[in-house]
Homo-oligomer: A and B are copies of this chain.
Amino acid sequence: MVHWQWFLRRRQLFYGTCCVLILYLIHGALIDSAQEDSQVDLRKELIFLRKQGFFQSKDPGASNAQIPTVFLIMPTYKRPTQIPDLIRQCHTFLAVPSFVWILVEDAPERSDVVSNFLRRCGVPSIHLNAATPEKLKIKTQQRKRPRGNFHGTKCRRHFRFSFFVCVRRIEQRNEGLRWIRENTKGIAGVVYFGDDDNTYEHQLFEEMRDTKRVSVWPVGIAGGVMVEGPIVDPSTGKILKFNAAYKPSRKFPVDMAAFAINARLFHEKPEALFDIPKRDGELEGEILKYFLDSPFDMEPKADFATKILVWHTRTSSAVLTQEKKLKEPSDSHIKYVWT
């Protein structure tokens, strides 16, 4: 039988064990209540984690295994649907790890609307601007689209004034590339070009992350067809042909949303920039030509190019025909800047 003194001498061990248990329970309770909070504060948590992910990947010498960063260069311009379009992108990008959103305003200055938006959104971002040159803005009194050779530019009516703006977002994308060259030396990453009203599925960014040189995948509702993109032989993994109905003669018959480029290549070829293409609708080739001899050298992704993970959706421009019936603008009481 155990002597009563044994208990006495072990009493302090018993107290110690009690301490462990109590501390453990308190800790557990704290974590539980934190979990309840996180139900409500999930978005803040997400933002925090995203930011962490960004800063970690800025330190390439860090010991823990790193995933390459996705750098998304996206032009944007002022219009009534701009903020809702950007909000939907924000909601998508919040759940993408190691991601930097390079938003380039098509304007002579960066706007407060966009910088307030980016602060509130919480996705790690870089806010730039580059104006479309005045010579590409065509003033007109007619309601007709101007005709003539604009060297592959697209013309659209300004949403408020009566002139057409003919743009191809060359300046904005080059401004993004300038930032890439200045800030990503030695960082493992991939560069992708986005439109602010396209639809991106989260998985798309995981597919492009390990691009060796240039990767490629199908794009939904692009080039006038349901799906535009490569057709791949699943047994060899090689591209057999490109499914394009719009200008199949293009050297690189793919949409801007169809490919990503390893960021390293932009440091290796400092001259690689967008320029006005010789023929309409061949802007993609303007950048791809620096890195590829043939479109068949691209690395197919998305399960041998059988999955659609990006869609060339477009947001209809706002119909504001009733505005003139009101005495003052309908948004005069609105804290319009999204804070």
Contacts and interface: CB of A to CB of B under 8 A. Distances in A.
Interface size class of A (residues with CB under 8 A): 35 or more
Nearest to A326: B245
A38 interface: yes
A84 interface: yes
A270 to B, nearest CB: 32
B224 A320 contact: yes
A292 interface: no
Contact of A23 (B24, B36, B65, B225): B24
* Interface of chain A, main secondary structure: mixed
Nearest to A22: B20
A208 to B, nearest CB: 15
18 contacts: A16-B17, A39-B53, A39-B97, A42-B95, A80-B226, A83-B220, A84-B199, A218-B334, A225-B326, A225-B330, A245-B323, A245-B325, A306-B333, A308-B334, A308-B336, A308-B338, A313-B315, A314-B316
B91 A202 contact: yes
Contacts of A329: 226
A225 B228 CA distance: 36
- For the complex of A and B, 9 pairs with smallest distance between CB atoms: A16-B16, A224-B322, A245-B322, A84-B199, A84-B311, A225-B330, A12-B13, A245-B325, A314-B316
